[in-house]
Structure 1
């Protein structure tokens, strides 16, 4: 019984840490926050369960789904997503096998190669996924959606899926992607070159063994207010502010 309780405490603490990270930053596309520049009249369709109760909704704002997840998970409810965006697209981008691999990589003090690559065939957007967070509802991502150098941050999977209907960024999964170099190599190369380098280019990059922290976009007031409410209801989460994804990796 003690081991079971200890495991539950560890999972709860990790979920709280993941939430703190997700609400300490925000997804920017170009120079603006994603939810501020979405096209008018667009929505993200979702079909999901909360503690076995099935829901089907269309959310006009990415913040709406974040709020539902935040309060469901802080109340220890089980959330299972069946569909996001167009029917079948969620599982094309995030098949069960990929979600399991991302979860396997969610180990403390790791430095594994990236697990998957998403890209826009009609644009320049690239995302490298490294591990899962928050029971598979979020992932750590190195991406180039912002102005300036690439960003390494945890992102809600719902935000990744919403890029197509809300902004027309139609990401697909690169089935040929197979990384052999660790996450740290991609991060250091991003800091040196200002872009996400392909693996052949990594072999020619003059690494110095130092993994600098790429600048994180700041969260909006709306995102912070959601998190502040969760902190008032669960003070333990408040103590986790300031944590970043880098703290869960071993880049030494």
Structure 2
């Protein structure tokens, strides 16, 4: 499976440019919703990406390798694509994931629960988003 469709790539690049422009202009950085979710189909690793740098490889978002300490940071699209897992599998894109909230909410909740997947389950079960 190709990890990024042209539409997802364009959305990630637009978010990246908005973040770079805000930093350049001294404005508050945007807090976009995740555009795409990647996951290990035979393990606990999960990534939520919000931005793609102009290099076409460096993603920014929330990463959870399954050790109970999800964190915001950069990760490589080509490295995700190169992972070879048992049974001939690789890292996959969740075709049905829809980021409903800003990445900061996912990050805060994932840190509290210890995993992105638990955070998604909790946040997406709330009828009107998280309580203030």
- TM bracket, shorter-chain basis: 0.7 to 0.9
The correspondence for 1:201, drawn from 118, 122, 125, is 122
- Please report the RMSD computed on the Cα atoms of aligned residues, expressed in angstroms: 2.5
Counterparts of 1:75-154 in structure 2 under 5 Å? 89=1, 92-106=2-16, 107-108=18-19, 109-145=29-65, 147-154=67-74
Return the alpha-carbon distance in structure 2 between the equivalents of residues 134 and 190 of structure 1: 28
Q: Deviations over 1:190-229 (max 9, x none)?
A: 2211111354412399777xxxxxxxxxxxxxxxxxxxxx
Structure 1 residues 172 and 181: CA distance shift in structure 2, 3 A: same
Return the alpha-carbon distance in structure 2 between the equivalents of residues 103 and 127 of structure 1: 17
Q: TM-score, normalised by structure 1?
A: 0.41
1:170 positional shift = 1.8
1:188 positional shift = 0.6
- SS, match of residue 130 in structure 1: strand
Bigger Rg over Cα: 1
Unaligned runs of 5+ residues in structure 2 are 20-28
Structure 1 residues 118 and 151: CA distance shift in structure 2, 3 A: same
Runs of at least 4 residues of structure 1 off by over 3 A?
Answer: 197-200, 203-208
Return the alpha-carbon distance in structure 1 between the equivalents of residues 44 and 6 of structure 2: 27
> CA contact under 8 A between 1:144 and 1:151: conserved in structure 2?
yes
Unaligned runs of 5+ residues in structure 1 are 1-88, 209-252
- SS, match of residue 84 in structure 2: helix
Question: What count of residue pairs does the alignment treat as equivalent?
Answer: 116
Return the alpha-carbon distance in structure 1 between the equivalents of residues 83 and 63 of structure 2: 13
